[in-house]
């Protein structure tokens, strides 16, 4: 049962639940995904993690810190780490990168265990780096013959390079049990995602392909599912008869942060909505799975995405169902932010949006007519990462009440993981006056970084948190009409000052 406290009360941190070793299950205990039907056995656990693109920014900034935290927590026993990249790095340069990326995990205290720290130190000292041209025929295959399997082959590379590397690989060159780990964006269109799926399918089975979406950490996925499916108070009302709209928002106060080379070609739509937010939407909207096994959960997610479109028969106009904007000069805290088009590395001809919003409709019985509003942007005045469920008004409010009758709203926060319920109650003072209160609690969270949570599934051979091939294609199918309309200029590019909440005409900017 959720323990609510008022917003003004100190909220205790809720520790993540530990999986039970028992074979039976108590009421409301669905078990750990690691023991769910369809999960792989411990004998398939990965022995070697090979990072391609090991000298790149993604590896140093996000991937290696996640690896370090995972090993230092004692949750990646017996792993060997190997780096490979196109840069001619020395062993000393690789060790410097590892030292910097592992510094927090190696520090005493926190969530690292003494045994985990020793294991991480051993992994670091034994790790090696190899210069490699992954697109040269036979070179990657020959290299893989020198490492112990099963292997997790992590493509921390631009999508085009990953595609080429997989095209020149041969199935016989992969060690038994190899798992391929692909970074987003997975393709650049539904057609290219389909082609990449076909290429990967010639190398390994679908359940050995991990398409990484670090936004789908275990805490996020299981918190939503636990909230919905373990509380009878919520699930009977989780449909279009009672819910007016669902908003999934990922607003950042960060600007480009030296990522123009990628972001100016992706924009807010491809960077966040096409992948992360559609996946969260699917978990919010899916039917109850029979188990927490990867096959049941991912099939429920796929069923939602298959019937989803931007706009529907009630709102077919993409100029009405989508919005885009770009930030102009402004102030965020004490930082002076220039116009987006004046940022270093930006080409104004790309017409890139830094804030986007789309209305997705899940065209099935449960959700017919309910808009799922997906919004993401940069350089905004407040960071906001949450899903908000807004319920329909009561059918009749007894005459005599005064004050504002506001809609009931449920907020699910992503980092920190929180749950807030907005309710109308009587008083204080005049009992006839409705007043707004917020009931708030902390949800369980995992001390691992998001990449650590996803990598744990890769190393243990559980694809629960990975994006399945058909859903990767469907995500592109859903958004492609909007992107085409934007490119054609059918949807105007609006503007908002950096540090503001976005265009004032957007309802989500005024929440």
Mean pLDDT value across the chain:
87
Instruction: Give, to the nearest 10 degrees, the angle between helix 218-229 and helix 450-460.
Output: 90
Q: What is the CATH number of the domain that holds 500?
A: 3.30.360.10
Asked if the model's pLDDT at residue 61 lies above 80, the reply is yes
Nearest to 208 by CA among 243, 175, 184, 251: 175
Q: If you ran DSSP here, which 8-state letter would residue 32 be given?
A: -
pTM of the model: 0.86
Tell me: do 114 and 239 sit in the same domain.
no
Query: Using CA atoms, how far apart are residues 272 and 385, in angstroms rounded to an integer?
Result: 12
Residue 31: pLDDT band by 50, 70, 90 thresholds? very low
Distances (CA, A) of 447 to 87, 111, 341, 360, 450: 33, 7, 38, 32, 9
Residue 83 counted as domain residue: yes
Per-residue pLDDT tens over the stretch 120-146: 999 999 999 999 999 999 999 999 999
Residues contributing to the annotated binding site for substrate: 214, 218, 252, 271, 378
Q: Are 385 and 258 in contact (CB under 8 A)?
A: no
Look at 184 and 441; give whichever has higher pLDDT. Answer: 441
Burial (CB count within 10 angstroms: exposed 0-12, middle 13-18, buried 19+), residue 35: middle
Tell me: do 498 and 367 sit in the same domain.
yes
Which of 208, 276, 396, 411 is flagged as catalytic?
A: 276
Q: What is the CATH number of the domain that holds 68?
A: 3.40.50.720
Most confident of 104-118, 138-152, 176-190: 138-152
Distances (CA, A) of 358 to 243, 308, 319, 498: 18, 12, 10, 21
Average pLDDT of the segment spanning 185-211: 92
Q: What is the pLDDT of residue 399?
A: 85
Tell me: do 195 and 242 sit in the same domain.
no
Per-residue pLDDT tens over the stretch 244-301: 999 999 999 999 888 888 899 999 999 999 999 999 999 999 999 999 999 999 999 9
Tell me: do 55 and 74 sit in the same domain.
yes
Tell me: do 184 and 253 sit in the same domain.
no
Tell me: do 290 and 389 sit in the same domain.
yes
Residue at a domain's end among 196, 211, 226: 211
Strands (DSSP E) contained in 46-174 are 48-52, 80-85, 128-131, 151-155
Query: Using CA atoms, how far apart are residues 267 and 251, in angstroms rounded to an integer?
Result: 13
Residue 14 counted as domain residue: no
Residue 33 counted as domain residue: no
109 alpha-carbon distance from chain centroid: 28
Q: What is the pLDDT of residue 27?
A: 38
Residue 113 counted as domain residue: yes
Q: Among 103-107, 149-153, 212-216, 242-246, which stretch is predicted with the lowest mean pLDDT? A: 212-216
Q: Are 65 and 449 in contact (CB under 8 A)?
A: yes
Nearest to 300 by CA among 360, 364, 249, 247: 364
Residues contributing to the annotated binding site: 86, 184, 214, 218, 252, 271, 378
Residues contributing to the annotated binding site for NADP(+): 86, 184
Tell me: do 264 and 239 sit in the same domain.
yes
Residue at a domain's end among 185, 211, 237: 211
Tell me: do 260 and 152 sit in the same domain.
no
Q: Which domain holds residue 322?
A: 218-510
Residue 28 counted as domain residue: no
Q: What is the pLDDT of residue 356?
A: 98
Tell me: do 398 and 296 sit in the same domain.
yes
In the chain, % of residues over pLDDT 70 = 91
Tell me: do 395 and 280 sit in the same domain.
yes
Question: How many separate domains does the chain show?
Answer: 2
Residue 37 counted as domain residue: no
Question: Residue 26 is encoded by which pair of tokens?
Answer: 């108590």
Residue 34 counted as domain residue: no
Q: What is the pLDDT of residue 437?
A: 84
Tell me: do 174 and 270 sit in the same domain.
no
Residue 7 counted as domain residue: no
Tell me: do 294 and 172 sit in the same domain.
no
What does the longest C-alpha to C-alpha distance in the chain come to?
80
Residue at a domain's end among 153, 179, 211: 211
Q: Is 208 a catalytic residue?
A: no
Asked if the model's pLDDT at residue 13 lies above 70, the reply is no
Nearest to 183 by CA among 63, 265, 279: 63
């Amino acid at each position: 049962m959720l323990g609510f406290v008022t917003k003004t009360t100190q909220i205790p941190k809720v520790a993540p639940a530990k999986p039970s070793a028992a074979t039976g299950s108590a009421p409301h205990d669905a078990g750990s995904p690691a023991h769910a039907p369809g999960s792989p056995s411990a004998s398939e656990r990965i022995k070697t993690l090979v990072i391609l693109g090991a000298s790149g920014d993604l590896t140093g900034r996000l991937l290696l810190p996640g690896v370090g935290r995972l090993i230092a927590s004692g949750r990646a026993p017996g792993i060997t780490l190997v780096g490979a990249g196109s840069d001619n790095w020395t062993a000393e340069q690789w060790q410097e990168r590892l030292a910097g990326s592992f510094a927090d995990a190696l520090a005493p205290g926190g969530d690292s265990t003494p045994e985990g720290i020793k294991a991480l130190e051993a992994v670091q000292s034994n790790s090696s780096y190899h210069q490699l041209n992954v697109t040269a025929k036979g070179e990657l295959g020959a290299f893989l013959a020198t490492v112990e399997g099963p292997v997790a082959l992590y493509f921390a590379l631009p999508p085009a390079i990953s595609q080429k590397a997989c095209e020149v690989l041969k199935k016989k060159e992969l060690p038994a049990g190899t798992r391929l780990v692909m970074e987003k964006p997975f393709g650049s269109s539904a057609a290219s995602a389909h082609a990449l799926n076909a290429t990967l399918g010639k190398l390994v089975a679908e359940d050995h392909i991990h398409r990484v979406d670090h936004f789908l950490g275990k805490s996020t996925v299981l918190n939503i599912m636990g909230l919905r499916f373990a509380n009878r108070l919520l699930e009977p009302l989780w449909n279009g008869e009672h819910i007016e709209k669902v908003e999934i928002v990922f607003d950042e106060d960060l600007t480009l942060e030296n990522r123009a080379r990628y972001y100016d070609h992706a924009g807010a739509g491809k960077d966040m909505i096409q992948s992360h937010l559609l996946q969260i939407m699917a978990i919010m909207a899916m039917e109850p799975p029979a188990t927490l096994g990867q096959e049941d959960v991912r099939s429920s997610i796929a069923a939602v995405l298959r019937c989803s479109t931007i706009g529907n028969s009630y709102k077919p106009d993409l100029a009405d169902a989508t919005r885009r904007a770009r930030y102009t000069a402004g102030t965020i805290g004490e930082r002076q932010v220039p116009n987006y088009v004046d940022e270093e590395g930006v080409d104004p001809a790309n017409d890139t949006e830094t804030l986007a919003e789309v209305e997705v409709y899940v065209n099935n019985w449960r959700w017919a007519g309910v808009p799922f509003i997906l919004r993401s942007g940069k350089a905004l005045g407040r960071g906001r990462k949450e899903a908000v469920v807004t319920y329909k008004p009561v059918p009749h409010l007894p005459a005599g009440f005064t004050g504002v009758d506001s809609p009931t709203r449920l907020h699910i926060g992503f980092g920190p993981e929180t749950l807030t319920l907005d309710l109308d109650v009587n008083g204080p003072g005049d009992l006839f006056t409705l007043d707004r209160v917020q009931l708030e609690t902390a949800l369980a969270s995992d001390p691992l970084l998001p990449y650590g949570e996803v990598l744990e599934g890769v190393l243990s051979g559980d694809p629960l948190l990975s994006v399945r091939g058909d859903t990767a294609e469907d995500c592109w199918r859903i958004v492609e009409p909007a992107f085409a309309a934007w490119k054609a200029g059918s949807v105007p590019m609006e503007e908002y000052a950096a540090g503001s909440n976005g265009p004032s005409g957007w309802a989500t900017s005024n929440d």
